[in-house]
């Protein structure tokens, strides 16, 4: 029964990632009929929409929009790529720039939470590892429980960020990027673009599940 549960959890965690990678790779073939690269489309969309002060630049840290620096950062494959995946991902990141430009509340909330979550997750790991030692040293009634609760809250903050991220990503994909792409790619490519955007969203679903599994793993270790 335990083996079956573990296998089910692994499937829930791994399958979205595997499917997302397959979809993205499937649509990464170069397209001679596309007039520009992902970076060129992103730059064009920003100018067309009148979003000033946002620049497009390459990065090795994965495709993302940085609201503090006001930068659309694209991986080399997307920045210089001329494929359905490249232009779709570029449009998605521009979708975040649109959200920021329009003051989209969930994006602003996520931006504030990200910094807090990173610190909280590190604190959670330290507290979980230190909990038994602190209990032995202090012998305070309920001391271990207090540390465990603090650690759970810390890990829970990371899971909360991922949950807040999901509607932000879906909005950037299907309410912002997809309508824009209709003007730039052939109609027969629209289903593929939708698949790429869905695959990108699934990576955040997997990240959310990973946070919850990480919390569960520490709780199991602590109970031993």
Per-residue pLDDT band at 14 (split at 50, 70, 90): confident
Per-residue pLDDT band at 160 (split at 50, 70, 90): confident
Nearest-angstrom CA–CA distance, 137 and 213: 29
The per-residue pLDDT for range 114-138, each reduced to its tens digit, is: 777 777 777 767 776 776 676 666 5
Q: Is the pLDDT of residue 140 over 80?
A: no
Question: Which are the contacts of 78, defined by CB distance < 8 A and separation ≥ 6?
Answer: 38, 39, 63, 85, 86, 89, 90
> How confident is the model at residue 118, as a pLDDT?
73
> How confident is the model at residue 219, as a pLDDT?
63
Percent residues over pLDDT 90 in the chain:
50
Of 40, 93, 121, 169, the catalytic one is: 93
Q: Residue 207 is encoded by which pair of tokens?
A: 């990240």
End-to-end CA distance of the chain: 20
The per-residue pLDDT for range 34-87, each reduced to its tens digit, is: 989 999 999 999 999 999 999 999 999 999 999 999 999 999 999 999 999 999
Per-residue pLDDT band at 193 (split at 50, 70, 90): very high
Distances (CA, A) of 180 to 16, 35, 42, 175: 26, 15, 11, 9
> How confident is the model at residue 208, as a pLDDT?
67
> How confident is the model at residue 103, as a pLDDT?
95
Nearest-angstrom CA–CA distance, 19 and 202: 9
> How confident is the model at residue 141, as a pLDDT?
58
93 catalytically annotated = yes
Q: Residues 88, 52, 75, CA angle at the centre, nearest 5°?
A: 35
């Amino acid at each position: 029964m335990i083996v079956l549960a573990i296998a089910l959890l692994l499937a829930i965690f791994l399958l979205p990632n595997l499917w997302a990678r397959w979809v993205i790779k499937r649509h990464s073939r170069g397209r001679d009929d596309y007039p520009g690269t992902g970076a060129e489309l992103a730059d064009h969309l920003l100018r067309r929409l009148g979003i000033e002060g946002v620049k497009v630049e390459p990065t090795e840290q994965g495709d993302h929009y940085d609201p503090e620096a006001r930068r659309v950062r694209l991986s080399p494959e997307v920045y210089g790529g001329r494929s359905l995946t490249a232009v779709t991902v570029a449009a998605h990141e521009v979708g975040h720039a649109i959200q920021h430009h329009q003051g989209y509340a969930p994006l602003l909330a996520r931006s504030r939470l990200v910094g807090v979550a990173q610190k909280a997750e590190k604190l959670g790991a330290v507290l979980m590892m230190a909990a038994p030692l602190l209990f032995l040293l202090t012998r305070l009634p309920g001391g271990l429980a207090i540390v465990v609760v603090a650690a759970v809250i810390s890990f829970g903050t990371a899971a909360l960020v991922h949950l807040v991220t999901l509607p932000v990503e879906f909005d950037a994909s299907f309410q912002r990027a997809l309508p824009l792409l209709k003007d730039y790619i052939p109609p027969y490519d629209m289903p593929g673009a939708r698949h790429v955007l869905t695959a990108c969203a699934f990576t955040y679903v997997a990240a959310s599940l990973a946070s919850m599994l990480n919390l569960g793993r520490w709780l199991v270790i602590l109970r031993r």
